[in-house]
A = this chain, B = another copy of it.
């Protein structure tokens, strides 16, 4: 199925990938606002022209970065969920996988800190529906269908859960690397208890 690519296409793809990689690093360290496209292009010894050839805008470049990170993260988290014997322990496993993911400074910073700033809260939230938000909804729907969760409105339930879990994302994004393991355990305890409150009576 893999189509043979011409040399030009290979070069082009490599350039695009390099831009995404460089942008990821910049956004994760300096942040979205403080990163100029000139910086990103300079990192791979190209110019802003190259950026605008591959991406329609600075925001589009950010979206590419975010997508890349979220696809990988979502894949891991859903794998954790599916690998568990029953839905409840699956939900716990997914939560743990998410918290692990948030200990990655690049993921936590780009997705949870810079995301809403770069794309606006609405745009970011829309994108998240495909990833974290969507994953949570699927899990909660599953639990509810099996009667393991109180019959609360799914959309609102998802929203609150998403933001509560996001607290961990933000919190771990801000913390020093050395403090993260300890913090992670705390978030796990608090979130576990809160989500436990959602079991049917």
Contact = CB atoms under 8 A, between A and B. Distances in A.
A150 to B, nearest CB: 6
A19 to B, nearest CB: 24
Given A113-B121, A150-B193, A162-B167, 5 more contacts: A121-B170, A164-B164, A164-B194, A193-B197, A194-B197
A138 interface: no
Interface in A162-201: 162-164, 166-168, 170-171, 174, 183, 186-187, 189-191, 193-198
A28 to B, nearest CB: 14
Nearest to A32: B120
Given A150-B193, A197-B197, A198-B193, A31 B160 contact: no
A195 B159 CA distance: 15
